[in-house]
A and B are shown apart, each in its own frame.
Chain A
């Protein structure tokens, strides 16, 4: 394969976790944030926790930053394909997790505004979705350690 393509894919893999993770966080936080704004119209207090829940999907960007920094190294024909595979797939997982966590957070806000006692429990689906992002994050770091050119 053309060296330039391999090199480009390598860079694509380096930046994917951060970029795709940020896309997921943008969509997720926007959805949950809109739900939080609506809930504020209907409730008399507890606004802070709605805003807090709406920011839950921002963690995917943080995981993306860490993975991108870990994958960032001088690219070669030996490590670029591996960086592409790990980075791109980790990025996709972080993006999906951010988007769907936004759904979960919006639903949690919707139910807990009228039934505050289920607030903690209603966040369980969002925490489960976060768990999958953590799996992808941890294994991306572990696998990145085995790629040539790392420190």
Chain B
């Protein structure tokens, strides 16, 4: 595995505030894509393949769960970088746990053996411990009881925030010791994607941005 370092690219990316504290994206998608042209060809392919599984707006609506599972398995085989693998697993595992909690909340029975309801490392464990309200994972994922509480209170926004906080912190921890490797670029893209998704759903931030655009337009026109 060749470990390339991206000094110019990483220092050219603006810092990201925490997703729920940002009022707008510090870099827009066009500019980000332009900066990513500094990546080596092999890493561009890697970013593309991971983005198709993880990055929200890159996931085709028509993709079935089976296809998603196949893409996940292929990625796990083809990626050499353990940190990037762990980032993908982190995101997928959290998503699978939330799916399981939602199903339990709706009162659905344990998934049938062979039924495709989630992907990742915990699928069989969750099926086995379906009767436990925390899926016997709360020692590893201490946020599960809180997620359950948000589900029971029908607090979708807080549940989303909780999930995102887990991924945000987890991804940050994984790249704590690296400063200029491809995994840092992945960490940035994961966080940027989360921020974009959060802001898209946040009416207050959208209003602020709208007002900014109006002010800019007015200033440009000299009104």
Stretch at the interface among B6-14, B104-112, B165-173: B6-14
- For A22-66 the 0/1 string (1 means CB < 8 A from B) is 000000000110111111011000000000000000000000000
Tell me how far the C-beta of A139 lies from the nearest C-beta in chain B, rounded to whole angstroms: 31
Known contacts being A31-B7, A35-B7, A38-B8, is A106 close to B180, with CB within 8 Å? yes
Docked pose: A38 CA to B7 CA in angstroms: 7
Docked pose: A41 CA to B8 CA in angstroms: 9
A80: interface (CB < 8 Å): no
Docked pose: A106 CA to B184 CA in angstroms: 14
**In the complex, which residue of chain B has the Cβ closest to the Cβ of A39?**
B11
B142: interface (CB < 8 Å): no
Residues of B within 8 A of A34 (CB): 7-8, 11
**In the complex, which residue of chain A has the Cβ closest to the Cβ of B16?**
A114
**Inter-subunit contact B7/A42 (CB<8 Å):** no
Taking a contact as CB atoms closer than 8 A, the residue among B12, B13, B179 that contacts A107 in the complex is: B179
Residues of A within 8 A of B35 (CB): 41
How many cross-chain pairs have Cβ atoms below 8 Å apart between A and B?
Answer: 44
A110: interface (CB < 8 Å): yes
A109: interface (CB < 8 Å): yes
Number of interface residues of B (CB under 8 A): 13
B15: interface (CB < 8 Å): yes
**Inter-subunit contact B15/A37 (CB<8 Å):** no
Docked pose: A33 CA to B13 CA in angstroms: 16
Known contacts being A42-B13, A42-B14, is A110 close to B179, with CB within 8 Å? yes
**In the complex, which residue of chain B has the Cβ closest to the Cβ of A114?**
B15
Residues of B within 8 A of A35 (CB): 7-8, 10-11, 180
**Inter-subunit contact B9/A38 (CB<8 Å):** yes
**In the complex, which residue of chain A has the Cβ closest to the Cβ of B179?**
A107
Q: Which of B5, B11, B12, B14 has the most A CB atoms < 10 Å from its CB?
A: B11
Residues of B within 8 A of A42 (CB): 11-14
Docked pose: A41 CA to B10 CA in angstroms: 11
Taking a contact as CB atoms closer than 8 A, the residue among A32, A36, A103, A110 that contacts B10 in the complex is: A110
Docked pose: A113 CA to B7 CA in angstroms: 13
Docked pose: A48 CA to B9 CA in angstroms: 19
**In the complex, which residue of chain A has the Cβ closest to the Cβ of B9?**
A38
**In the complex, which residue of chain B has the Cβ closest to the Cβ of A32?**
B7
**Inter-subunit contact B10/A38 (CB<8 Å):** yes
**Inter-subunit contact B179/A38 (CB<8 Å):** no
- For A94-110 the 0/1 string (1 means CB < 8 A from B) is 00000000010011011
26 residue pairs from A and B, CB less than 8 Å apart:
A31-B5, A31-B180, A32-B7, A34-B8, A35-B7, A35-B8, A35-B10, A35-B11, A35-B180, A38-B7, A38-B8, A38-B9, A38-B11, A38-B12, A38-B13, A41-B12, A41-B35, A42-B11, A42-B13, A42-B14, A103-B179, A106-B7, A106-B11, A106-B179, A110-B10, A110-B179
Interface residues of A (CB under 8 A from B): 31-32, 34-39, 41-42, 103, 106-107, 109-110, 113-114
